């Protein structure tokens, strides 16, 4: 088990703080802490989990034109342009993390891309599941059912992931929001295994 590299994390935290409002930076610190807890419970590299948690929303406060520019620069799927910040800050945000923070670990970058929508059962790494759940369960979250979701996730990371996929899909549909295709695909795939 690799321990958390405190000095590197501190330097990274400083860079992240410069690009985010206080409230969102504090969310990132809490996601880092929760990701470390879930990493310990699931035999995952704590340092990798801490880094992923700290930087997962790094690009969340960029403008639409910054995201559009990045989509063109990296030659990403042009359909992305039909979506907005909730989808862009993960899928496209990972490229800001790579280009500006110099993080090249492909598992971390993939986990950031998947942190809002999840992905198919067989496609999500343990790191990706840990980040997905840490973002949902960090100690500042207080939605109805959060304690139940924390307990469930302590018992089984996979059960937690499916709970979140199912709750988020119902919530978005209840609000009449458009659902990103990958969110649907992820839910349907997990439902085959865990429903
Ligand atoms: P945050 O960045 O810490 O606020 O959390 P997330 O990255 O998990 O989610 C960002 C927002 O995207 C939340 O409001 C989610 O409800 C929303 N979201 C998640 N999946 C979808 C989707 O498929 N479509 C749309 N329109 N929004 C989504
Ligand atoms: Fe996010
Ligand atoms: Fe999330
Ligand atoms: Fe987040």
Mutate to test the pocket of ligand 1, among 116, 176, 177 (most ligand atoms within 8 A of CB): 116
Q: Residue 135 above 60 pLDDT?
A: yes
Q: Determine the Cα–Cα distance for residues 54 and 31; give it in Å rounded to an integer.
A: 7
Mean pLDDT of the chain: 97
pLDDT band at 25 (very low <50, low <70, confident <90, very high): very high
**Ion ligand 2: protein residues whose beta carbon lies under 5 Å:** 57
Average pLDDT of the residues in 166-192: 97
CA 167 to centroid of chain Cα atoms:
16
Q: Say yes or no: CB of residue 164 within 6 Å of ligand 1.
A: no
Contact 169, 183 (CB under 8 A): yes
This model of the complex carries an ipTM of 0.96
Give the rounded percent of residues in the chain with a pLDDT score beyond 70: 99
Query: Which residue's CA is the closest to the ligand 1 atom numbered 17?
Result: 86
Selection from 76, 73, 70, 9 nearest residue 36 by Cα: 9
Return the pLDDT at 50.
98
Q: Say yes or no: CB of residue 86 within 6 Å of ligand 1.
A: yes
Return the pLDDT at 191.
97
Return the pLDDT at 4.
86
CA dihedral 95, 186, 54, 94 (to 10 degrees): 0
Backbone angles phi, psi at 63, to 5 degrees: -80, 160
- How far, in Å, are 7, 84, 100 from residue 64 at the CA level? 33, 7, 18
Average pLDDT of the residues in 49-74: 98
Name all domains of the chain by residue range, CATH numbers in brackets. Answer: 6-194 (1.10.3210.10)
Average pLDDT of the residues in 90-95: 98
Q: Residue 57 above 70 pLDDT?
A: yes
Residue 18, exposed/middle/buried by CB under 10 A (0-12, 13-18, 19+)?
A: exposed
* Residue 172 Cα: closest atom of ligand 1: 16
CA dihedral 122, 127, 131, 133 (to 10 degrees): 60
Q: Say yes or no: CB of residue 135 within 6 Å of ligand 1.
A: yes
Give the ligand whose atoms come closest to the C-alpha of residue 129: 3
Q: Ligand 2 centre from 88 Cα, in Å?
A: 9
């Amino acid at each position: 088990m690799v321990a958390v590299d405190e000095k590197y994390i501190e330097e990274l935290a400083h860079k992240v703080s410069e690009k985010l409002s206080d409230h969102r930076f504090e969310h990132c610190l809490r996601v880092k802490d929760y990701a470390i807890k879930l990493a310990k419970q699931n035999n995952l590299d704590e340092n990798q989990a801490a880094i992923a948690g700290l930087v997962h929303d790094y690009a969340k406060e960029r403008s639409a034109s910054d995201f559009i520019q990045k989509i063109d620069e990296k030659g990403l799927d042009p359909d992305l342009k039909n979506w907005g910040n909730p989808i862009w800050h993960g899928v496209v945000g990972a490229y800001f993390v790579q280009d500006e923070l110099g993080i090249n670990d492909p598992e971390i970058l993939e986990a950031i891309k998947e942190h809002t929508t999840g992905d198919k059962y067989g496609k999500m790494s343990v790191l990706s599941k840990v980040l997905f759940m840490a973002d949902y369960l960090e100690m500042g979250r207080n939605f109805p059912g959060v304690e139940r979701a924390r307990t469930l996730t302590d018992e089984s990371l996979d059960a937690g992931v499916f709970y979140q996929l199912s709750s988020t899909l119902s919530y978005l549909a209840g609000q009449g929001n458009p659902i990103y295709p990958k969110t649907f695909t992820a839910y349907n795939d997990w439902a085959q295994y865990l429903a």
